[in-house]
Amino acid sequence: MLIRPRVIPGLLIQDGGLVKTKQFKKPEYLGDPINAVKIFNEKGVDELCIMDISKDRYSRGPDFSLLEEIASEAFMPLAYGGGIRSLDDAKKIFRIGFEKVVLNRVLAQDETLAEEIIRLFGSQSVIASIDIRKSLFGGYAVYTDSGKSIVSKNPLQWAKKVEELGVGEILLSNVDREGMQNGFDTEIIRKVADEVEIPVIACGGAKNVKDLFLALEEGHSDAVSAGSMFVYYGDKKGILINFPTEEELIKEGVYKYE
């Protein structure tokens, strides 16, 4: 039997366009997100995670018209995060056709809303986004607002807290490594993954399939997510939506036979 951990492209949207950032900064416009979704359909990806990083997302809420377009084109399960301010926002996202919502700021600022979403739609439908970055002294802290506002100086305690809140899984994003393609910090991934019972999705730093394997094997993550790896090609980073073949994932040990 082939064991297939989830390999999840993470797509960033800003003001309706597909973008890519480095360390959550300087978004580069890449094109139409709908085209990217269509290509990932053809590639047979496991799941897509769509995150809106528009500056006004919390004042205007999710771009439901764009989300409807994405859901109408996508053949795979979808997760969405960005600008979710109310239970009605979450209801609309699920009604459109998304299977999961990704909560970040809400977990720190409106725990009651998070609990309501979990109660109504179930733990399996809610992902806790935990953004971490290193301090000058080498330890990690948890941030919201694209890595600007600190909410906890202990990622392990924060991960345990959101697990106890009832979320179904954790998206652990490394701000320092996001978009840098310099590999995952498997040590912090492993510490978080070993601390909780729910699945952890490692994100931040992937350059190639070998990096995905290391996040799973050394980091003990249950799934992996990447952005740059799936939207750029080659050392000069030409824009090309891509995804490894099943053969490549088997060769590097991401997929395994048991």
Q: Which of 131, 211, 222, 235 is catalytic?
A: 131
Q: Distance (Å, rounded) from C-alpha 39 to C-alpha 243?
A: 9
> Is 131 marked active-site?
yes
- Ranges of beta strands (E only) in the chain are 2-3, 6-14, 17-22, 25-31, 48-52, 78-81, 100-103, 126-134, 140-144, 149-152, 169-174, 200-203, 223-226, 232-233, 238-239, 256-257
Rounded to 5 degrees, φ, ψ at 106 are: -60, -40
Distance in angstroms between the alpha carbons of the first and the last residue of the chain: 5
Between vectors from CA 194 to CA 192 and to CA 198, what angle results, nearest 5°? 80
Rounded to 5 degrees, φ, ψ at 240 are: -155, 115
Residues annotated catalytic, as ranges: 131
